[in-house]
């Protein structure tokens, strides 16, 4: 996504050249089901003073997998191909119905219970992992509330390259080292 100006023609039909001069302004919105970003200086500050700005967003929709586990269980994440990339994870409660069987209304009433988790640190880049939904892993964000772990993730493809050079270039991608042993580095190249 870009907020600012990347060319002199978009949204330029009624403004002068002085207002289309700065073309180096950038902001991003990633990994969400929906995203509302007003094209306003109050959101992005004013990256290019005296420049008429617009918001230009290019995006790709990808299918995610979503799993949850009630308090005391565990969430198994796996990819038949590629590696795990966690999109969102919450240990808490955001509705009245998930994991509600046999629970009192008092245990289900707090639906504003969030503990953003570090599931991505545990699972990102792996082929599979299992995360227990317990207070000892995530602490207790809302005492007395029956919680669950809710994780959305996607599977991204591995890229492999063998080189005798000390540098690997992957174009418009970035590298994430998966693991290394005996002088060999295994990495994932992810498209931006």
In the chain, the number of structural domains is 3
pLDDT at 118: 73
Q: What is the pTM of this model?
A: 0.58
71 with 149, same domain: the answer is yes
Question: Do 47 and 84 sit in the same domain of this protein?
Answer: no
| 28-72 confidence digits (pLDDT tens) | 445 556 666 666 676 666 767 777 666 665 556 667 889 999 999
Q: How sure is the predictor about 94, in pLDDT bands with cuts at 50, 70 and 90? A: very high
Looking at residue 44, which CATH number applies to its domain? 2.60.120.740
The total of other beta-carbon atoms located within 10 Å of residue 174's CB is 11
Residue 39 and residue 2 share a domain: yes
Cβ within 8 Å of residue 10, ≥6 positions away? 54, 56
Clarify whether residues 115 and 149 are in a common domain: yes
| DSSP run (H or E) holding 65 | strand 65-70
Q: Are residues 145 and 69 in the same domain?
A: yes
Query: Do 163 and 124 belong together in one domain?
Result: no
Q: Are 171 and 192 in the same domain? A: yes
Bridge-partner residues for 130, per DSSP? 76
Is the same domain home to 47 and 128?
no
Residues 6+ apart with CB under 8 A from 177: 185, 186, 187, 188
**SS3 state of residue 105:** helix
When pLDDT is cut at 50, 70 and 90, the band that residue 170 belongs to is low
In terms of residue numbers, what domain contains 45? 1-61
Q: Final residue of a domain: which of 61, 82, 102?
A: 61
Listed residues 29, 61, 93: the one ending a domain: 61
pLDDT at 12 over 80: no
Within 10 angstroms of residue 80's Cβ, the number of other Cβ atoms is 7
Domain boundary among 61, 90, 108: 61
The answer on pLDDT for 92 being more than 80 is yes
Q: Are 96 and 28 in a shared domain?
A: no
Asked whether residue 75 falls in the same domain as residue 150, the answer is yes
Examine the domain organization and report whether 70 and 152 are in the same domain. Answer: yes
Residues 152, 162: one domain?
Answer: no
pLDDT tens-place string over residues 122-168? 898 899 999 999 999 888 989 999 999 999 998 888 765 555 545 55
């Amino acid at each position: 996504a870009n907020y600012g100006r990347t060319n002199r023609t978009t949204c330029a039909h009624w403004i002068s050249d002085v207002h289309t001069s700065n073309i180096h302004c950038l902001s991003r919105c990633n990994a969400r089901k929906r995203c509302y970003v007003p094209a306003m200086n109050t959101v992005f500050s004013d990256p290019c003073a005296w420049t008429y700005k617009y918001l230009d967003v290019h995006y790709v929709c990808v299918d995610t997998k979503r799993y949850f586990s009630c308090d005391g269980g565990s969430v198994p994440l796996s990819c038949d191909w590629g590696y795990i990339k966690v999109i969102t994870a919450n240990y808490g409660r955001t509705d009245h119905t998930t994991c509600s069987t046999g629970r009192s209304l008092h245990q289900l009433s707090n639906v504003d219970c969030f503990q953003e988790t570090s599931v991505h640190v545990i699972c990102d880049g792996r082929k599979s992992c299992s995360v227990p939904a317990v207070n000892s892993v995530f602490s207790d964000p809302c005492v007395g509330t029956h919680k669950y772990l809710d994780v959305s993730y996607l599977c991204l493809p591995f890229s492999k390259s063998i080189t005798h050079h000390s540098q690997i270039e992957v174009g418009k991608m970035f590298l994430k080292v998966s693991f290394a042993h005996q002088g060999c580095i295994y990495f994932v190249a992810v498209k931006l």
